[in-house]
Each structure stands twice: as structure tokens, then as C-alpha cells.
Amino acid sequence: MKTLEIILKGGWKSCCSTYSADDLKYLTKSWFKDVSDLKFDIIDIENNPYETGDLSDLAYKNFGDAIFPMVYFNNQLIMIGHFPEPDECIQIIENPKPLTKEEIEEESREVKKQQNIYE
């Protein structure tokens, strides 16, 4: 069975509202009705512990809470800082591309460069 999990911290915040994991489960329940053999879940780590792993720890060290939501497919970190749209989820399921340590470190360097420009 394939697993797709979206990890939140304190819900998902849009410009005007905060949505709980339960709200989002309700809103997304029809996204995968045609996908067989998939376990989909949305987990808020403030309510339910979740073991994220070394890559998430590295991303958190560099970006803090901006890494949420995180997307995992088959226990591999695929995406940080973005709640995927339905078509993005299907792409993840069909062609997963896990994040690498190098990608996280490179993005961290780029963000730090930009921050130095604006200081």
C-alpha cells in the first residue's frame, strides 16, 4: 500500500483562516477516490506525534516553521512549505521525487543570500 501524508503544525494557515487537520481531511476526501491502494492522511503534530526524520530536522534547522506543511510519500520527504493541490498529489503518487539533503542545503544558501540583500 502506498502512503501519502501531509504533516501540519497547528493546522494549515491561509491568509484569512486556519484549518485543522480534520477540516482538511473533510475537504480533501474526494481527491483520491479513483486511486487504489493509497492510504492518505493529514496529521497535525501538535495533536499526534509523527517521526519526521533527518531531512525534516535539517529543513527545520534552516527554515523553522516555514517547512510546514510537509508532504511525505511512502515515508520519504517530498515537499516542504506548501499544501499541494490535487493534481500535485497525483504527480507525487505517479512520479515521486524525494527531497535530498543537497537540495535543502542549496535552498538554505539561496534564502540566506536573499536575506543579506535585503538587510
Are the C-beta atoms of residues 69 and 62 closer than 8 Å to each other? no
Q: What is d(CA 112, CA 95) in angstroms, rounded to the nearest whole number?
A: 30
- Cα R_g (the chain), whole angstroms: 15
pLDDT of residue 118: 57
Positive/negative CA dihedral, 88, 92, 95, 96:
positive
Architecture of domain 2-118: 3-Layer(aba) Sandwich (3.40)
Domain range annotation of the chain = 2-118
Is 31 exposed, middle or buried, given 0-12, 13-18 or 19+ CB atoms closer than 10 A?
A: middle
Residue with cell 487537520: 21
pLDDT of residue 34: 86
pLDDT of residue 117: 60
pLDDT of residue 31: 94
Amino acid letter, residue 69: P
What is the reported pTM? 0.88
Structure confidence by residue, pLDDT tens digits, 69-97? 999 999 999 999 999 999 999 999 999 99
Structure confidence by residue, pLDDT tens digits, 95-118? 999 999 999 999 888 877 777 765
